């Protein structure tokens, strides 16, 4: 795997030609060489356990971003043109898990090698695994902050070890104990909650109350931020494959993100927006605003 990555790492052939792919996310029109942050889509939902459709997430967000202001009143800052380069969506074979994950991993490695921060739009949550793997190679002290309704700590799901239901367990395989902080968790098996109670990961159920403790525990270590948007309550975010009642408000998630401003976030993702279930466009609007704040924050 690593050899394949290294063959690709000397050039940008694995990036798509954006000119053929339509809209950029708002204001993300920097030149690749000059950008600090590289935004890309991973439109893949090959292991969705309930309702597929998140493959359409990146396209919906780019299109609807035309409606959003570049200025954030929350941070009193502008998403400045010149900071972020949207390189479009990776071309991923929908039935091919291994090649899709390999392409995400090599893309993230390339972006990190170029000294930039990758921000990925899913797609389903399994796309986070190769991104974290690539970041861990670059940053051995990597920590993960994970916002989600679901623990995603299963050892396997219906016999599959690589699934959006197992993604945090696979990330734990990679990072080990004491590196993962979870927030908003309200769904999982007895075994998943026991795994957290045994101290392998720091799981906060239902809300983000312990976030300040996590921030001080992480300190100056590099952070991968993974936001599964189903952490939000389905009343504010219905457009997702596996909705779970009892979630965060938009304001709570936003306030939580703003608490991360002192951390060294080296990469981030935003996953599980599924436009086919977003009949009013509300979920996409919520996702856009979270992404804008995230891009300004890092
Ligand atoms: Mn989830």
Per-residue pLDDT tens over the stretch 26-73:
888 889 999 999 999 999 998 877 788 999 999 999 999 988 999 999
Give the burial string for 145-177 (b: 16+ CB within 10 Å, else e).
bbbbbbbbbbeebeeeebbbbbbbbbbbebbee
Q: Can you give the residue range of the structural domain that contains 253?
A: 2-297
Can you tell me which residue has the tokens 């074979």?
93
pLDDT band at 14 (very low <50, low <70, confident <90, very high): low
How far, in Å, from the CA of 6 to the mean position of ligand 1?
Answer: 32
pLDDT over 90 for what percent of the chain? 83
Question: With bands split at pLDDT 50, 70 and 90, how would you rate the model's confidence at 19?
Answer: very low
How high is the pLDDT of residue 95? 83
Residue among 252, 241, 248 at smallest CA distance from 54 = 241
3-state secondary structure of 21: coil
| Ligand 1 centre distance from Cα of residue 10 (Å) | 35
The tens digit of pLDDT for each residue in 97-108 reads 999 999 999 999
Q: What is the mean pLDDT of residues 232-259?
A: 97
CA–centroid distance, residue 183 to ligand 1 (Å): 11
d(CA 177, CA 175): 7
For residue 66, the model assigns a pLDDT of 87
Per-residue model confidence as pLDDT tens digits over 198-237 = 999 999 999 999 999 999 999 999 999 999 999 999 999 9
| Ligand 1 center from residue 82 Cα (angstroms) | 32
Tokens standing for residue 59: 């396209």
Q: How far does the centroid of ligand 1 lie from the alpha carbon of residue 150, in Å?
A: 4
Specify the CATH number for the domain of residue 128.
3.40.800.10
Cα-to-centroid distance, 61 and ligand 1 (Å)? 19
- What total number of domains does the chain contain? 1
Q: pLDDT band for position 4 (50/70/90)?
A: very low
Q: How far is the CA of 256 from the centre of ligand 1 (A)?
A: 17
């Amino acid at each position: 795997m690593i050899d394949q990555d290294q063959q690709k790492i000397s050039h940008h052939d694995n990036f798509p030609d954006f000119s053929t792919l339509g809209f950029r996310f708002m204001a993300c029109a920097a030149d690749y060489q000059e950008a600090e942050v590289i935004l890309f889509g991973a439109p893949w939902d090959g292991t969705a356990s309930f309702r597929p459709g998140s493959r359409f997430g990146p396209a919906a967000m780019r299109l609807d971003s035309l409606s959003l202001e570049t200025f954030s009143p929350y941070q009193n800052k502008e998403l400045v043109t010149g900071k972020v380069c949207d390189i479009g969506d990776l071309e991923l074979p929908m039935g091919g898990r291994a090649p899709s994950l390999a392409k995400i991993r090599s893309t993230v490695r390339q972006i990190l090698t170029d000294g930039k921060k990758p921000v990925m739009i899913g797609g389903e949550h399994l796309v986070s695994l190769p991104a974290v793997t690539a970041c861990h190679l670059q940053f051995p002290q990597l920590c993960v902050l994970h916002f989600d309704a679901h623990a995603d700590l299963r050892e396997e799901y219906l016999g599959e070890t690589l699934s959006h239901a197992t993604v945090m367990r696979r990330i734990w395989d990679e990072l080990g104990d004491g590196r993962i902080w979870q927030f908003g968790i309200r769904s999982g098996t007895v075994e998943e909650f026991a795994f957290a109670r045994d101290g392998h990961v720091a799981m906060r159920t239902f809300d983000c109350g312990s976030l300040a403790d996590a921030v001080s525990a992480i300190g100056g270590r590099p952070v991968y931020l993974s936001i599964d948007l189903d952490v939000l309550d389905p009343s504010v975010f219905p457009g997702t494959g596996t909705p779970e009642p009892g979630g965060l408000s938009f304001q709570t998630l936003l306030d939580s993100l703003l608490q991360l401003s002192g951390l060294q976030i080296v990469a981030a993702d935003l996953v599980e927006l599924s436009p086919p279930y977003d009949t009013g466009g509300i979920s996409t609007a919520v996702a856009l605003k979270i992404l804008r704040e995230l891009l300004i924050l890092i």
